[in-house]
Amino acid sequence: MSDDLNWLSAREMVRRFAKGDVSPVDVLEAVLARLHAVNPLLNAICLLDEAQGRNLAAASAERWRRGRPIGPLDGVPIAIKDTGHVAGWPTRIGSHATATSPSAEDTPGVARLREAGAVLFCKTTTPEFGWKGITHGPLTGITRNPWDISRTPGGSSGGSAALVAAGVVPLATGGDGGGSIRIPAAFSGVFGLKPSYGVVPNLLGLLGPLAVYGGLSRDVADSALMLNVLTRPDARDSFAIPDRGIDYLDGLDGGVAGMKIAWSPDLGFPLADPAVIAGMQPAIDALAKAGADVKRADLDLSAAQPALEVIWGTSHAALVRDFDGAQLAALDPGLLRLVIAAQDISASELHAAYADMRALSQQMHAFHRDCDLLLTPTVPITAFAAGIDTPDATRFPQWFDWTPLTWPFNLTRQPAASVPCGFVEGLPIGLQIVGPMFGEAKILRASRCVERACATGARPNFVDRSAPA
């Protein structure tokens, strides 16, 4: 019974709460039991508040008993990435330099989840200040992938992805400034959506216009449900677009017939593992069979990397500009190297990088006039060893060198998702689906089509492929 509850979707949980045959208290106890069983292998959480979780679950159970749920996620346990504030919990962002005192208020996304009745009980691991596409650092150690615990789950939302993949929670929050939702979604075999900039109110502020708030789930419909909640307005974010009242579940199964879809295996970065490229084919074929016009695109975005490097470096340098010597010495060594290198970047260079960012956005806006969606591999390689920043320092000196297909769409501010589409030697791979600005509904429809064609129902078995046979 307990294991069955762990693998329910958020939507099925709510249906069963309404019928009265399962209680939010039952679900949370199953969640906690699963968490205690798998987290020693994964190291995916940095804070656990069982007392709060039980109080929220009990309150939800009473509301369901009275037939008065307060929202579409009432009673659903959700893990929160530790880049977002949760009132009463500290926000460490993976760093020894951050305060241990509790936050006074919720981040907008957390506030919307709380209003919808979600059960908040833990925070998930992230690298220091979310600076890289994997999840390990001085404060929380190494987070591991449930498909192979010798490998990374990706990052920076790696703890969230690992818990979703491992059957602990159906939903977890994430933030994405360069691929931090999509990379762990691909490496961990779950679904992750980065919304368009401004669609989800957000106060993260770590990476300026690059970062957005979103989430991860085991299926596309759960992410659509979560997006319905996260997009509700919050007056604290003056850059958020007006609420459009969209129900992302509406039309989710509408299919892709008539859509024009482009496919690029590399976006001009010829780095992909041929096995990963081959693994995309069943998903591409499924979209074509469903009536989409899928064609190869000659699209080269590689010239955008210098702009990303300047904006990424200066953004993180700004975060630590007031740190003293002891605080700097305690930083993740890779982050320290990044911010030291960024000290010599001039204001004119930063201005030029933002100009290049706007030009790239205009290029992609023009591209989507004739193309509904763009497909790429999410990451051109499979998950590599946990605890290292790059699988090959010669070939990939920085994290953005081994994941060059995600960050361009942070520069353009477009929505993009990673949907599981298969395995390469037992490790998950993901298809990235990119849409025009505010094209989340199209992405979700195409993702649903891929999910139906490629989902296997496989569950991770926590093997360690680094161990001798």
> Which pair of structure tokens corresponds to residue 104?
């006074």
Sheet containing strand 212-217, edge to edge, reads: 45-48, 119-124, 77-81, 171-176, 212-217, 191-194, 416-424, 427-434, 373-377, 260-263, 293-296
> Which pair of structure tokens corresponds to residue 55?
């109080």
93: buried, middle or exposed (CB in 10 Å: 19+, 13-18, 0-12)? buried
Amino acid at 375: L
> Which pair of structure tokens corresponds to residue 87?
């009132």
Is residue 431 within 8 A of residue 378, CB to CB? The reply is yes
Helix or strand run (H / E) with residue 445: helix 440-454
Catalytic residue among 60, 81, 132, 160: 81
Is 101 annotated in the active site?
Answer: no
Indicate the length of the chain as a whole number.
469
Catalytic residue among 60, 180, 315, 447: 180
Catalytic residue among 23, 95, 156, 447: 156
Is 2 annotated in the active site?
Answer: no
Rounded CA gap, 182 and 161, in Å?
Answer: 10
> Which pair of structure tokens corresponds to residue 97?
């330099």
Q: Hey, which residues does 427 pair with through a beta bridge? A: 424
Coil, helix or strand at residue 407: coil
> Distance from CA of residue 234 to its chain's centroid?
21
Is 194 annotated in the active site?
Answer: no
Q: Active-site positions? A: 81, 156, 180
